[in-house]
Amino acid sequence: MWKAAVVEDEREAAERIAEYLGRFGEENGETFDVSYYGDAEAFLAGYDPECDIVFMDIQLPDMSGMDAARALRAVDSEVTLVFVTSMVQYAVSGYEVSALDFIVKPVSYPNFAMKMKRVLRERRLRAPRSDELSLSGEGGVRRVSVSSVKYIEVVGHHLIFHTFDGDADVCGALGEMEKTLAGKGFSRCNNCYLVNLRHVSEIRPASCIVGGEEVQISRRRRKAFMDDLTAYVGGASK
């Protein structure tokens, strides 16, 4: 099942997208769990980080679809975004927020079906949801790909996820996160850091380089860390 959100203030347009999703699903053996929002603020406030596809009207009453898309990308860089617009000239702006495609109003079913086939091809090429973490912090929920995490740092009662897309700060315990990521190529190099082994590029006497950053390795954890790294590299090369 695919989770979809329709952000559209025109009831007729929203109902047409819902109808087309149902028809496309019947014709192609797909199912869709669809949520509807009449304005961007309601959508962003209730955003579901498990969402796969967002259909976004560019012209919304409370804020522009572009501004809403920028806010969406701040918490979710992975969801597939499709703009719905009656003004083709605005569609080009979609590339600024990594929109996959756009649908021109009034929406015709043949065009919609063609776009949906592209959307689902793109979704299936992405990492599965099991390779993603939903992180809840003060700024709301942010979805992070496990592969994008360089390392996780504990500071007090907070975990800082250092990723290639920036840092994310959430409340939590490093031991619990270590259990969550068991079997996904992470290892503790000291009491403060949980390292993604796929991004280790260099080992130094008392540290390692992870995604271009230097992280300290404690004496007590060095052997176990090196054993994990050796096993990971050996497994990855098979």
17 and 90 both lie in a single domain: yes
120 and 149 both lie in a single domain: no
112 and 176 both lie in a single domain: no
120 and 6 both lie in a single domain: yes
> Digits of tens for pLDDT over the chain (238 positions)?
788 999 999 999 999 999 999 999 999 888 899 999 999 999 998 887 778 899 999 888 888 888 999 899 887 878 899 999 876 665 556 666 788 888 888 899 999 999 999 999 888 776 555 577 888 777 667 778 888 899 999 999 999 999 987 899 999 999 999 999 999 999 999 999 999 998 898 999 999 999 889 999 999 999 999 999 999 887 654 4
93 and 152 both lie in a single domain: no
Residue 192 sits in a domain whose CATH number is 2.40.50.1020
Domain end, chosen from 126, 156, 180, is at 126
171 and 91 both lie in a single domain: no
Phi and psi (nearest 5°) for 60? Answer: -115, 155
Cα–Cα nearest to 165, from 98, 114, 221, 84: 98
Phi and psi (nearest 5°) for 226? Answer: -65, -35
Q: Look up residue 1 and give its two tokens.
A: 């099942």
103-142: b (≥16 Cβ within 10 Å) or e: bebebeeeebeebbeebbeebeeeeeeeebbebebeeeeb
Residue 107 sits in a domain whose CATH number is 3.40.50.2300
58 and 150 both lie in a single domain: no
Domain end, chosen from 95, 126, 157, is at 126
Which range marks the domain in which residue 31 is found? Answer: 2-126
Give the integer Cα–Cα distance in Å for 229 and 224. 9
Structurally, how many domains does the chain consist of? 2
155 and 61 both lie in a single domain: no
77 and 179 both lie in a single domain: no
Pairing mode of beta strands 193-196, 186-188: antiparallel
Amino acid, res. 35: S
| pTM, to two decimals | 0.57
Domain end, chosen from 126, 145, 180, is at 126
120 and 153 both lie in a single domain: no
